[in-house]
Each structure stands twice: as structure tokens, then as C-alpha cells.
Amino acid sequence: MENIYQRKRDITICGVGFCPTTRVEFVREAFSMPTSPVSGTIDLIGVPGVNSAKADPKVAEMYASSSFAAIDGMPIVKIARKKGFNCERCSGPDIMGMMFEESVRQGKTHYLYGGKDDEVLIRLRTNLERDYPGIQIVGMYSPPFRPLTDEEDEKICSEINFLHPDFLWVGIGAPKQEMWMWNHREKIHGTVMLGVGAAFNFFAGTLDKSPEWMEEAGLEWLYRLTKEPKRLWKRYVLGGFKWLYYRAEAKVKGTDK
């Protein structure tokens, strides 16, 4: 069963469709998104996501099938702005605080799925309850680094459905988290799922956010690379070269829309 709701992709960059919005528009979209007959899925797609979509047709299909494809990357924001769109980068750390504030006003609930371990989730919950008084976190789960068994997956889906959160935050890394949401949009009912990657660590206080000037300059990748060089050098150094190649290819072929 396909999701009957899908926000129009206003631009296509390197074969990936995006919905350019401001952060305020993003929040409005998330809170008004239909969650029936299947749950809504919101993908935050940056340069690494485009690279993954170019390398794997299944990832490309997944992004194309999500309810909403937001821009999570200043290089893509700058392209969209040149095309005349008023938009902002909508990364996990950028939009989660706004979402939490609005959820307190509207009495909406949350479930946290992801994080490095239970300790990170506990710290995350403690910080959120401190910084957003009245926030309703109905449950949380840090999955193991191996694939869940069918029994384990059924158990966690049953728990989430029983708790019926309005928003299900998934932080297990891209594009794994988006694939998880895509595969669970019919198993988990009546919620909006958002893949937010490392944002769990930012709000838990285990990872620093880059300075705003570096984000605006499109240099957040460099800041994160200096913090975790062994883990991220392939993603950002090799990924940067791939991005330049795909941009050049798109210009030659004229595939951007």
C-alpha cells in the first residue's frame, strides 16, 4: 500500500527530488501531514544522501517514495536559492527544537528510536525534559548494531503502536534510518517518522554542533570531520569528490529541474 500523501518535489538535483522550505514551513508541514492509511515519512537529504541515491537505485526509490523530502545540506540549499526558492537547511539539529516546542503547545507525543546506546537515550530524554518543559516522550529504544530478528522487530512495532506517538524520531544513521522508516511505514500506524541521524547525539550533549557561520558557509562537514576523522573521512572526503562528479554529470546531461 503506497502512502496517498506525498509533497510535490519542486526541484530535482542529481536525480533526487527535494521540497525546498523554510524551517517554519517544515514544522507546519510535519504537523499537518496525514498518517493514514500509512504513516508519514520525512527524509532529510543532504549531499551524502544524494551520493547514496546515485550509487543505489533502491535508495533513490526510497527517497522518491517518502512523504516529504527536505533539504539537509547547504550546497543543495544554495542551488535551490539560485533557482528562486526561499529555503533553509532543515537538518535534525535545526528543526528538532522547533518541533519539540510546537509539540508542547499542541500536546503531541514522541518516541525515540536509535542512539548509540541506552545511556545516550537517557541523557537525551533528560535534556529534552529540562529544555522543553511539558514534552511528552512516551517511549524510547536503542536497537543493537545488528539487524533485528523478526520477533524483535514485531515486538518493538507492537510497543510503538500501543504507545501511539505522534512523532517517531529515528536516529540510526543515513540512509539506514530512511530505509527503516520506508520498510515500517505500514507496520507502524498513525505517526510521522523523521530520520535525524546524529541529532540524537547533539541533543544528548555527546556531540558538539558546528558554529553557525560554518554551517552557512557549507563547512559543517569540515567541523565534523575534525571531530571524528577516522569514522567520517570517507563520507566527507571521498563523498565530496563524488558530489562534484555528480554535479558535473548533471550539468552536462541537463538533468536538474
Per-residue pLDDT of the chain (257 residues; tens, 9 = 90+): 555 688 999 999 999 999 999 999 999 999 999 999 999 999 999 999 999 999 999 999 999 999 999 999 999 999 999 999 999 999 999 999 999 999 999 999 999 999 888 999 999 999 999 999 999 999 999 999 888 999 999 999 999 999 999 999 999 988 999 999 999 999 999 999 999 988 998 899 887 677 777 777 777 777 677 777 777 777 778 888 999 999 999 989 888 88
- Amino acid 11: pLDDT: 96
Distance CA 181, CA 41 (A): 7
Cell numbers linked to 166:
505522534
Asked if 124 and 99 count as a contact pair (C-beta separation under 8 A), the reply is: no
Cα distance between the two ends of the chain: 29
Cell numbers linked to 123:
541523557
Q: What is the DSSP string of 85-140?
A: -------HHHHHHHHHHHHHHHT-EEEEEE-SSHHHHHHHHHHHHHHSTT-EEEEE
Quote the pTM value.
0.91
CB proximity list for 228: less than 8 A, separation 6 or greater: none
Residue spans per domain, the chain = 11-204, 212-252
* Cβ burial, residue 66 (10 Å; 0-12/13-18/19+): buried
- pLDDT tens-digit profile of 94-135? 999 999 999 999 999 999 999 888 999 999 999 999 999 999
Per DSSP, 206 falls in state: S
- pLDDT tens-digit profile of 176-197? 999 999 999 999 999 999 999 8
- Amino acid 5: pLDDT: 85
